[in-house]
Structure 1
């Protein structure tokens, strides 16, 4: 094994954008303050705890990545393990007679500081010739020593306090093997095992917060080949299907992470992704909540009070950067976040021209939502019909289940591009039905989820 070459930065540049979203997913959530309830239960993805803690708690101490690769002669495998290392921050106020005392909150002019667990990014990198893997297992252990840092807090030229940051010792190991895969082409099954090997021994009743100080948090792998390529775990070529299905991945999921069409980089993520994931180009920066919409987060963040913004800035430097980003976002960027339409050319009729959709339901003489009908239980159902609602088990909207057995008025019969039929309805005795009707907002059910009402 050798140290990775400098070109590894360029090799992983595209994939690292996605990896960063994985690394910091849930790091600090809106409203970006330590006092928020959802920021008190953190570090949920890719956490590898010390083995002795995991044995009793059910937490994992390892990740196993297996994939099929087509390495070429003289190829080298670049491996980059990335994770967050917990850094516990203590806030201390300067005493009038000298010395410091630990406090729960220290208010400064630009921020309000509170105790907080920060995340320090760590990388373990190595470069392994593929020929060496054929000869046996490659093992790389690593150890990060405990450390303490002190940051003085000065305001108006006077010492107001200090921040103490403490990092505990973290130990781990990478184990890499490769075995030839039978088949018409030269391929190998690559296995990379990431282990937390800390000898930290918890006492009975030890809380998770103590174990996190010795854990690998948001652990994930970036793998790269110089000349060869990796095969997709979900859409492999037919000849490699059996070999890919035999791969065993534990607590992580491998996806192709380079540009579309490229298989030189693989990301093994604790969050399930699709091949070639990408960050929306409209996204203005990291907001640390990939399950939300950037526009909503930006608008809500800008609407925080000045006191709340000071608390966020005092919570974490990354949270402070989010506040500054929202405050400085120009209108044209916000407008860009409002929505984007992609791939219009694939949805147009080339013979009709790019400006004409291949199907416009509003101008299709063969469809009329107000007059179309569908036969249910031998009876025609159209706009104006009344039906019993009987939503099926396949419904993903739990609120629809509360409507089971209610009656409703059919407002329109709609057809989609897949040939399915949907009934737009308003529920009887709903006091907001007239408003919903005026706004064109309805509830939608399929024909097998309703029964015609007998009689008037």
Structure 2
């Protein structure tokens, strides 16, 4: 599963990290992503998506089970506070702290489901992220570069909005010894405008399916006896591929970009790029204009 998580993290953070982060940049403070699933009204106004889905085949047996995991980023607003006053940036010691948009990883799992259960009726997995706030002080004396004031306590205040939705999971017999699994993600939230929709969105949303007692069928290269059933699968906004160690058939990754089967992270990518320390380092490099602050590379990927 570590290999699958590595490539899934690449998808999760690709759009979030690639834009330059400088005070002079036109997109300063905004993080742009791929694969956003937004509240329906705003998605229909803007031509975006409020639902995505994926279908793929599983060669099953009487004891087959499958577990689905939804992963996405949620927008978090990071506000710098000079005392009780919100400010665009503060200097504390040698460091500069800026107000900006960040993101928080969210992960929701269905638990292990017998395929026979999915054949009987759909299973609905709720997505319910409550709105929240956290804050922490910044050690040292703050200097406001705009007002020129020194010495007021500095704080970082992070806030995020509510995100709601549903993942509907189902199965149908597609051929003798094979079922067609279907996963539909719907954003059920509401938003009055584009900014509110971004705060209520599931960004870079993707699904990982893990099978036990069965083998997933490659959507791109199915065996001849299942070619017709594979061609009848319909996905919208997600593209399922086999994932994990090359040659394995136990995991499917349904991503918002087109990949080949068994995509891999390029070996030159730092192992900790998407850990806490790695993200902090990368953002610092982006702020300083360090050319190393690019995205994580992948091999075996394609784009449409």
Which range, TM-score by smaller chain? 0.7 to 0.9
The verdict on how the C-alpha distance between 1:164 and 1:317 changes in structure 2, with shifts beyond 3 A counting, is farther
Partner SS for 1:77: strand
- Which among 11, 35, 50 is matched to residue 61 of structure 1? 50
> Residues 43-62 of structure 1 correspond to what in structure 2 (within 5 A)?
43-62=32-51
> Residues 299-448 of structure 1 correspond to what in structure 2 (within 5 A)?
319-322=279-282
For 2:33 and 2:20, the matched residues in 1 are separated by 18
For 1:159 and 1:258, the matched residues in 2 are separated by 51
The verdict on how the C-alpha distance between 1:287 and 1:136 changes in structure 2, with shifts beyond 3 A counting, is same
The verdict on how the C-alpha distance between 1:169 and 1:324 changes in structure 2, with shifts beyond 3 A counting, is closer
- Which among 238, 249, 253 is matched to residue 252 of structure 1? 238
Deviation at 1:40, TM superposition (A): 5.5
Deviation at 1:165, TM superposition (A): 1.0
Q: Who is 1:375 aligned against?
A: none
The verdict on how the C-alpha distance between 1:116 and 1:38 changes in structure 2, with shifts beyond 3 A counting, is closer
Is residue 162 of structure 2 the alignment partner of residue 169 of structure 1?
A: yes
For 1:323 and 1:118, the matched residues in 2 are separated by 10
> Relative contact order (alpha carbons < 8 A, sep ≥ 6): 1 or 2 greater?
2
Where structure 2 has 5 or more consecutive residues not aligned to the other structure, the ranges are: 143-150, 287-291, 293-304
Is residue 7 of structure 2 the alignment partner of residue 18 of structure 1?
A: yes
The answer on whether the counterparts of 1:29 and 1:39 sit within 8 Å (CA) in structure 2 is no
Larger radius of gyration: 1
The verdict on how the C-alpha distance between 1:71 and 1:150 changes in structure 2, with shifts beyond 3 A counting, is same
Q: Which has the higher helix share?
A: 1
For 1:117 and 1:177, the matched residues in 2 are separated by 36
- Which among 118, 138, 147 is matched to residue 102 of structure 2? 118
The answer on whether the counterparts of 1:153 and 1:159 sit within 8 Å (CA) in structure 2 is no
The runs of 4+ residues in structure 1 deviating greater than 4 Å are 38-41, 156-159, 285-288, 316-319, 323-326
For 2:141 and 2:104, the matched residues in 1 are separated by 30
- Which among 209, 227, 233 is matched to residue 241 of structure 1? 227
Partner SS for 1:22: helix
CA RMSD of aligned residues (A): 2.4
Partner SS for 1:274: strand
> Residues 272-287 of structure 1 correspond to what in structure 2 (within 5 A)?
272-285=258-271
For 1:150 and 1:269, the matched residues in 2 are separated by 33
For 1:34 and 1:63, the matched residues in 2 are separated by 35
Is residue 235 of structure 2 the alignment partner of residue 261 of structure 1?
A: no
Cα deviation code 1:308-362 (max 9, x no counterpart):
xxxxxxxx97653126789xxxxxxx9xxxxxxxxxxxxxxxxxxxxxxxxxxxx
Q: Which has the higher strand share?
A: 2
> Residues 82-121 of structure 1 correspond to what in structure 2 (within 5 A)?
82-94=71-83, 100-121=84-105
For 1:246 and 1:175, the matched residues in 2 are separated by 19
Deviation at 1:284, TM superposition (A): 2.1
The answer on whether the counterparts of 1:81 and 1:123 sit within 8 Å (CA) in structure 2 is yes
Cα deviation code 1:367-411 (max 9, x no counterpart):
xxxxxxxxxxxxxxxxxxxxxxxxxxxxxxxxxxxxxxxxxxxxx
For 1:40 and 1:104, the matched residues in 2 are separated by 9
The answer on whether the counterparts of 1:32 and 1:319 sit within 8 Å (CA) in structure 2 is no
The verdict on how the C-alpha distance between 1:249 and 1:274 changes in structure 2, with shifts beyond 3 A counting, is same
The answer on whether the counterparts of 1:259 and 1:276 sit within 8 Å (CA) in structure 2 is yes
Is residue 180 of structure 2 the alignment partner of residue 189 of structure 1?
A: yes
Cα deviation code 1:22-55 (max 9, x no counterpart):
0000212264436433556533311000112112
For 1:275 and 1:246, the matched residues in 2 are separated by 19
TM-score (norm 1): 0.57
Where structure 1 has 5 or more consecutive residues not aligned to the other structure, the ranges are: 1-11, 95-99, 289-315, 327-333, 335-456
The verdict on how the C-alpha distance between 1:114 and 1:323 changes in structure 2, with shifts beyond 3 A counting, is closer
Cα deviation code 1:101-132 (max 9, x no counterpart):
11111112242111111110000012211110
Cα deviation code 1:109-162 (max 9, x no counterpart):
242111111110000012211110111111111211111111111206976311
The answer on whether the counterparts of 2:30 and 2:100 sit within 8 Å (CA) in structure 1 is no
Is residue 119 of structure 2 the alignment partner of residue 134 of structure 1?
A: yes
TM-score (norm 2): 0.84
Equivalenced residues, count = 277
